[in-house]
Structure 1
Amino acid sequence: MKKNLFIFLFLVFSIQTSTQGQNAAESKIKSLMETTPVMGLGVAVVKGGNLVYQGAFGWKEEGKEMLETTDIFRIASISKSFSATSVMQLVEKKVLSLDDDVSELMGFGVRNPKFPDQVITLRMLLSHTSSINDSEGYFTLDAINPSKNPNWEKAYNDYAPGEGYQYCNLAYNMTGAIIEKYSGERFDQYVRGHILAPLELYGGYNVSELDAASFASIYAYDPDSAKFTLSPAAYAPRVEEIANYQFGYSTPIFSPTGGMKISAPDLARYMIMHMNYGKGENERIISKKSSQIMQTPISSDENYGLGLWKTDKLIAGTELVGHTGSAYGLYSAMFFDPKEKFGIVVISNGCAPAYEDGFNAVIRQTVNILYEELIKPQ
């Protein structure tokens, strides 16, 4: 009898504490939005390996419709982790190797002209150590294809492959084409079938296959005019381009580097999979070994692994694994601690572009509010 009473009192205390934490977090987030330009925020918190909180604040469409937790956002560069996860699945099936020569995978020469004898590997693409850059653009693979671009040599840096780091969107759009060629499935369909569906998540790269009514409109904020401007290109359906799709080459249409659309709670459920080293709430989609490879930094200077990186700057002094994103005015963050089993997702469909410690200030401050009120041991 005493034991049952103790359990009851413990549960009551836990619920009260949780409710107090949620109320405090929501109050602080609303205060932040009153003092800093923010269109909207979608957030989700994982604690003890479980999704314990989800919230939506501000506007989905300015002045017309409020944001809801089920609304989906283009999450920008967090999308890279979906591409890297797809590669690891194909590596496990022995369809690909991280040490494969990208020239052979792409079907045209991928060599730094200053180091023509040095192989650029798939691992280098995923870790931003390939010596490839975005100076020729990244919305088409023509940027680096010698038969398509007379200036292709400019797409390479002065250092040798594997000997430097530069964040590169083109490398991930190339990766998407490789996934497509070696899985035999169009990139967007591969991710949907092998990552989203097994994890029971709603989202995807193909705008036309998603409910347009659920899109959170994205706005770019101009500090000089103090105004938000709608960015319709964020959800451009690319219907004509898809109709003329060249399998294994047109893949940047879907933007493997930044085009995933998903809600904050579902992104948190995806994050749980990485937190658990490849196992989602109900199903494992990559091995523990593959997941650990993704989370292990290649470059000690940048702490970037394969589609995921480590930082202790988001929450000062706490090492987290994850990724950020920014595009069209949107800012996003997905970070977790695989040992302590907590994580936070924050997505803004438009906010002030100021940065602090390498992160968008609104995103960083929101993450810290959620950590302090809902996760940090009291």
Structure 2
Amino acid sequence: MPIFRALPVAPLVLTLLAPGTASLPSEPHPTPASSYLPRLVVEGRAPAAAFLARHHTPAREETFGSAGPGIGAGDHFRAGSITKTFVATVVLQLAHEGWIALDDSVEKYLPGLVRGHGNDGSVLTLRALLTHTSGLPDYLTALPATDPALTGAAGPSARPVTPTAAVRAAVARPPVAARGSYAYSNTNYALLGLVVRRVTGHPYATEIRRRVLEPLRLTGTSLPGARATLPLPHSRGYHRSPDDGTVRDVTAVDPRFAGAAGEVVSTLADLDDFYAALLGGRLLPPAELATLLDTRPSGGTYGMGIYPQELSCGTTVWGHNGHITGSYVRTAATRDGRHVLTFRVNTDTPPGEALETGLLEAEFCPPARSEGL
């Protein structure tokens, strides 16, 4: 989500977090973005960090960098809320094909599910779900957690939950914002996953595979369902307690708590290729792509499963972040999709807005070069 939450600073407790472990693989021409990787380890307190940038030119320039031990270019990792971009893409494809209309009510497809405590599916549209302007409470804050150390943005990872149960837990609370106001909520995308199943007869995961993963040959991306392990190769995933700073390995996670709001597992290369294809017009017709990128309903904050960030140099990049147990990921791309970067750290402690923005500006705002050099 595009809103950063500051976490308490805790002392380093693993030797792999020590400044001396940060190192970059040899690169013929290290990029400015590469210099941020050791900083993500030292200042951002991540065990390890990696990024892959691509310029989709005839030469297809690529740059990979990593810092810290045990993290590789081809690793699989949990992509968290980046799942929302996949779901939004499928929903807009269904709208283009006439299966649904974005201004249809939630009640039309899921009668009786969103009701009570001031929540009313008959006045909420699919458009409101896509843009986080429904006002619905976030189910992650409504579900009881069995592991207090893994609550909050990381989610109640030890508690499998069905999408319907997640929604019911959320709507047992009053709305968190007025309808039409932007308020990020995972409940919106849990509902969209249920809508996809209702209109197609298939789980949203099946539709994502059929409509996105297979056409783009994103063989490193999967929707694991109940599978708690990551495909090989993968690095470890860690959680640091905000209370006492202790660090635990949380690589194995039952992803059912995340569902359509955040279950995707992917790779750096696949996420770069997905956003390049999406913004390049390969997955949506022009009208639907324009709708995806329209931030007016949210007051300029969020489109549909994607959000803009204007950098200090005037460049606006589009993408999403993912924050889930053991992983933090961010993908950003130029509007045409021809320049894209994905970075990740193998911890669910976000690096902080300053470091993240600095890395993006190092990649998308390179220093001007003198003519003739």
Q: CA deviation at 1:71?
A: 0.8
- For residue 187 of structure 1, what is the aligned residue in structure 2? 204
2:290 to 289, 292, 306: 292
Aligned to 2:254: 236
Q: Closer, same or farther in 2 for the Cα pair 1:28/1:187, shift >3 Å?
A: closer
- Could you tell me how far apart the structure 1 residues matched to 2:279 and 2:121 are? 39
| 2:37 equivalent to 1:29 | yes
Distance 1:155 1:55, change over 3 A: farther
- Judge conservation of contact 1:72–1:262 (CA < 8 Å) in 2: yes
How far residue 365 of structure 1 moved from its aligned partner, in angstroms, is: 3.3
Give, in whole Å, the separation in 2 of the partners of 1:194 and 1:340. Answer: 19
1:70-149 equivalent positions in 2, closer than 5 A: 70-111=74-115, 114=118, 119-134=123-138, 135-137=141-143, 139=161, 140-145=163-168
Residues 52 and 343, structure 2, Cα contact 8 Å, conserved in 1: yes
Unaligned runs of at least 5 residues, structure 1: 1-18, 238-251, 280-284
Partner of 1:303: 301
CA displacement at 1:197 relative to structure 2:
0.7
Question: Which amino acid in 2 is paired with 1:221?
Answer: R
Aligned match of 1:12:
none
Name 1:217's counterpart in structure 2: 236
Alignment pair present for 1:332 and 2:329? yes
Instruction: Indicate if the aligned counterparts of 1:331 and 1:363 stay in contact, CA closer than 8 A.
Output: no
Which among 57, 62, 71 is matched to residue 66 of structure 2?
57
Give the AA of the match of 2:296: I
Q: TM-score, normalised by structure 1?
A: 0.74
Shift of 1:311: 1.8
Distance 1:365 1:99, change over 3 A: same
SS of 2:340's equivalent in the other structure is strand
**Aligned residue in 2 for 1:371:** 364
- AA at the equivalent of 2:347: G
Partners of 2:300 and 2:326 lie apart in 1 by 25
| CA deviation after TM superposition for structure 1 residue 350, in Å | 1.8
1:282 match: none
> Separation in 2 of the partners of 1:166 and 1:289?
25
Q: Is the 8 A contact 1:41 1:347 kept in 2?
A: yes
**Which structure dedicates a bigger proportion of its chain to helix?**
1
- Give the residue type in structure 1 aligned to 2:345: S
Deviation of 1:337 (Å): 1.5
Number of residue pairs aligned between Structure 1 and Structure 2: 321
TM-score (norm 2): 0.75
Measured in 2, the distance between the counterparts of 1:122 and 1:287 equals 19
CA distance in 2, matches of 1:188, 1:117: 24
Tell me the distance in 2 between the aligned counterparts of 1:32 and 1:345: 14
Structure 1 residues 252-271: aligned runs within 5 Å: 255-271=259-275
1:8-65 per-residue CA deviation (whole Å, 9 max, x = no partner) reads xxxxxxxxxxx76436543553365345422222312132557522425245xxx6xx
Q: Which whole-Å deviations, capped at 9, do the CAs of 1:267-300 have from their partners, x for residues lacking one? A: 0000101221x31xxxxx3212111110110335
RMSD, aligned CA:
3.1
Q: Distance in 1 between matches of 2:275 and 2:189?
A: 20
- Could you tell me how far 1:97 is from its partner in structure 2? 1.1
Identity of aligned residues (%): 21
Superimposed CA distance per residue, residues 88-115 of structure 1 (whole angstroms, 9 cap, x where no aligned partner): 1111111111111101211324357547
CA distance in 2, matches of 1:340, 1:158: 33
**Stretch moving more, 121-130 or 253-262:** 253-262
Deviation at 1:158, TM superposition (A): 5.4
Larger Rg: 1
Decide which moves more: 254-263 or 224-233.
224-233
Question: Equivalent residue for 1:46?
Answer: 54
Cα distance in 1 between the residues matched to 2:339 and 2:46: 26
1 CA distance for matches of 2:54 and 2:116? 42
Q: Distance in 2 between matches of 1:338 and 1:326?
A: 23
User: Quick check: 2:84–2:261 contact (8 Å CA) kept in 1?
Assistant: yes
Between stretches 37-46 and 220-229, larger displacement belongs to 220-229
Describe the SS at the equivalent of 2:232. helix
SS at match of 1:214: coil
Residue by residue, what CA displacement relative to the aligned partner does 1:329-366 show, whole Å, maximum 9, x if unpaired?
422111112148322211111275452xxx3x443333
